[in-house]
Structure 1
């Protein structure tokens, strides 16, 4: 397909990109529960090594966001996303080789880490490339709606991928699961061939850290928002069990219901009302949800807090993302998106171990007080970002 000018087409093409994103993120989600099982039962190591194999992919993603953004700015989102989908497919093949019986334990595990690192690189390239490409197709004035679609593709994949991954692991084994994880991105690669490319924007470049200096306020807002989600995902069931409450497994269900409903109903609001205003309102709702869980007298109040947390978290990333897109010139957009996404990656990666230490000393309810305080601080960051012109 030949290149076209930015903003000359619309959302049917973005839907195609979102489907490809969904297929690629299924490989991430399906592998999450399967990797620790394979490390323990297949390779023969303990849970610590299983956790490292899971986490190293996220580390790879964080470290490559900036490079993926710079590549998007120079080569275009289409090529970046294509390379990311190929990296996903390669990662599945590398991980499948770890079940080869002639390998030693050390060789199998080392190969698994290589596959997970390649997966993290693929995630960076696909997400940043797709957002840069999609915003180029629709124009930056509709960036909030585009980023909302991106989130729906990602979180939809996570919702479907976990159970599907375990089912495939049980029925086809680890090699069969990894084969599916290699094929799905290739399907995505085929369907995006029908979407036209966007010519990269010419203009002066800036260093990654200089761009971070431009966008750190919206980045801080989305990072502080992520504390509540990460805390809920990691500690909500333990909080219920420690109190002897029923329905410990429903926290993420209530969170996800609120999250998806807001994306479906309100994905257009950042473009219509302004990203900073929508993010500020969302962070107030998230903070109320976290404080409600912290003070909950019983399970129903805590589940209501999880629902409010999902409603609040839902629109912060697309709202602040629309601010970021409007704060930088078009030729720096990919790098800015990559740096912005890294704030949320870092928040998700750091929250669980940090608040876990606090939970050991102060109890599980204290975790959600931290989440509420973080969302309150995020409100200040969102308002400050709006004052910078968002």
Structure 2
């Protein structure tokens, strides 16, 4: 009885320790969520640019994140995750300043759009630095045996931040405009920086020889490509759901993103042990299949209530894809490259979200807004097929 109580207390202690690090992820993604439901509509309605242009500007963030993932991984492995988190939170504060300047020039169409684009690039830098840093900070503190838990909790923090940040951003925009959002972003960035400054770093020195980032990238690439394809569903919802609802004359588009995020979080909480019990690849296959069902429901939805059901199924399906594939990918590299491995693996999520804007925006512009969800569903199904091929080659699905 006492042994069981001790294990339970230790588990709770580990969960609290991890939460103490992934709160920085929550701050970062709450910041990102503030403008996610506002800027696409602002660019489209205020300036008259089409859906593809709105998508390209929004996707600049993911391009920037992509470019700085490798840099972040090297900082984590050489200087420790705290340095990366400090840089990321400072970046969010600076992005708030740029967004405020953009607001001041809102009557100058091209200049304001350029400043918004610059804001997205700085936000992407901040996301790149803070994206996997709390995970590494957690793992270095609580041990590699808790890798799946650290990745899962980090995902809860990120999508929880988006789920809460998006409606708060709409509320701020309705009452104070983009200026209100920019001020909150700046305050959050400074607050996150001060909190991170107070925590002790956790840099683990490994005797194993470090591989180059390119070598690590090649190692994790098969799992990363699966993630890229699977994440197109989330990217389509996060980038285009406001425009999709507007096209259909539906209201409360931000609720769709929130429902996605809520079910995403529930999936990670309820099925947290699936990766340890069934393995990363089997879990990924089940989740990606469910995600494709959710996208099909969104595609066929003829009323916003049905669309919410589709968003919930999609969120539930996508919930464990990142940690499930990530656990398998990180196993393949030495301890001296764990930070680089998570950074390299995270690159593929950035690629997906970066491609979503121009790719799905192009589908919307050339074929119509109604085609965005069948297209993204097709991409997710390709990811499912690739995941099955990898699992079959590794004999993961054989008795």
TM above 0.5, one fold? yes
Measured against the shorter chain, the TM-score band is 0.7 to 0.9
Aligned pair 1:28/2:22, yes or no? no
Deviates more, 1:340-349 or 1:167-176: 167-176
Distance in 2, Cα, partners of 1:111 & 1:301? 37
Aligned pair 1:124/2:134, yes or no? no
Contact in 2 for aligned 1:140/1:326 (Cα 8 Å): no
2:281 corresponds to which of 276, 279, 294 = 276
* Partner-residue secondary structure (3-state), 2:331: helix
Distance in 2, Cα, partners of 1:183 & 1:244? 35
1:338 corresponds to which of 338, 343, 346 = 343
**What are structure 2's unaligned runs of at least 5 residues?**
1-12
2:321 corresponds to which of 316, 330, 336 = 316
* Partner-residue secondary structure (3-state), 1:379: helix
> TM-score, normalising length from structure 1?
0.82
Aligned pair 1:201/2:189, yes or no? no
Distance in 2, Cα, partners of 1:175 & 1:91? 12
Alpha-carbon displacement from aligned partner over 1:291-314 (angstroms, at most 9, x marks no partner): 444556877765544332222111
Alpha-carbon displacement from aligned partner over 1:39-67 (angstroms, at most 9, x marks no partner): 799xx965468666533222211211111
* Partner-residue secondary structure (3-state), 1:197: coil
Aligned position for 1:3: none
1:382 corresponds to which of 375, 387, 390 = 387
> TM-score, normalising length from structure 2?
0.80
Q: CA deviation at 1:77?
A: 1.0
Alpha-carbon displacement from aligned partner over 1:313-340 (angstroms, at most 9, x marks no partner): 1110111111122121121112221121
Deviates more, 1:244-253 or 1:226-235: 244-253
The two structures, once aligned, show a CA RMSD in angstroms of 3.6
Aligned pair 1:80/2:90, yes or no? no
Distance in 1, Cα, partners of 2:251 & 2:112? 41
Aligned position for 2:10: none
**What are structure 1's unaligned runs of at least 5 residues?**
1-8
1:143 corresponds to which of 137, 142, 147 = 147
Alpha-carbon displacement from aligned partner over 1:211-235 (angstroms, at most 9, x marks no partner): 1210111101111111222334456
Distance in 2, Cα, partners of 1:165 & 1:246? 16
Distance in 1, Cα, partners of 2:249 & 2:103? 41
Aligned position for 1:6: none
* Aligned pairs for 1:193-342 within 5 A: 193-202=197-206, 203-233=208-238, 251-294=256-299, 303-342=308-347
